[in-house]
Amino acid sequence: MLIAILIGAGLGFMFGKLPGLIIGAMLGYWVARRLIRRVVVSKLSQMQGQFLDSTFAVMGCVCKADGHVSGDELRVVEALFERLRLNEAQRERAKAAFERGKADDFDLDAELATVRRVTGGQRALLQVFLQVQLSAIAADGELHPDEHEMLLRVARGLGCSEAEIEQIEAMLRGGQQQANGAPSQQALTDAYRVLGVEADASDAELKRAYRRLMSQNHPDKLAGKGLPESMREMAETRTQEISNAYDLIKKSREANA
């Protein structure tokens, strides 16, 4: 940007002395901003496209971990197309990525390395990616040992821990318990896992964990880091589960005070 301003100022000074220098510098600044914005938008669009491709490619690999892709898993994939509001071209691209992931010669480790690269290792983005994978393989209501092992491999490839998988599992159970009515002791245990704190954490520690997670997982912040706009709803659901977990713990503590 500085070079563009200097070039604009130099040309302006040649043709208009001091007033020309000022106008030229302003024009140089404007042109530089436009070019930078165009490059940033293009790069972000490429990142989002790759994130979506890798999401479905890894999903194909994970769903096939137990030897076959079940009808329930296929229905979840189709439902994801609807939930993400993919257009026809995006659906065809996602289907092709899913089939690529199912192939025997699919290089899972290389694909996960690509995800780490395009996300810049951002924890919240990687956790959304992992959450989508878990949602797909849990579609039939049973987590096969081979599927769980594959999920652990994906988590390790992304640089995530088993504790983060447990946190995502707790979020998914939390959503189901919300739909089923009254919370249980398991729901309270899961709420602490969602926030990543122990049950004996102080109220201040609880609030700090809640605020940190809400900030890290804000949909606008994630979009700026490469989360496709089509996945915004999933990010919003994630923040809602964090909020629900915090509210559940607060109500439990108030009731037992």
Q: How far is residue 202 from each of residues 73, 209, 215, 243, 250, measured CA to CA in Å?
A: 41, 11, 20, 17, 11
| pLDDT greater than 60 at residue 141 | no
* pLDDT confidence of residue 11: 47
Residue 169 vs residue 44, higher pLDDT: 169
Asked if 120 and 225 count as a contact pair (C-beta separation under 8 A), the reply is: yes
Q: How far is residue 95 from each of residues 59, 82, 103, measured CA to CA in Å?
A: 11, 13, 13
Residue 182 vs residue 246, higher pLDDT: 246
Q: Which pLDDT tens digit goes with each residue over 1-10?
A: 555 444 544 5
pLDDT bracket for residue 167 (50, 70, 90): confident
Q: Extract the tokens encoding 91.
A: 């659906």
Select the highest-mean-pLDDT range: 44-48, 110-114, 177-181: 110-114
Q: How far is residue 215 from each of residues 18, 182, 219, measured CA to CA in Å?
A: 47, 28, 9
Q: Which pLDDT tens digit goes with each residue over 24-70?
A: 566 655 555 665 555 544 555 667 778 888 988 998 888 887 677 77
* pLDDT confidence of residue 40: 44
pLDDT bracket for residue 127 (50, 70, 90): confident
- Domain 161-257 fold is Helix Hairpins (1.10.287)
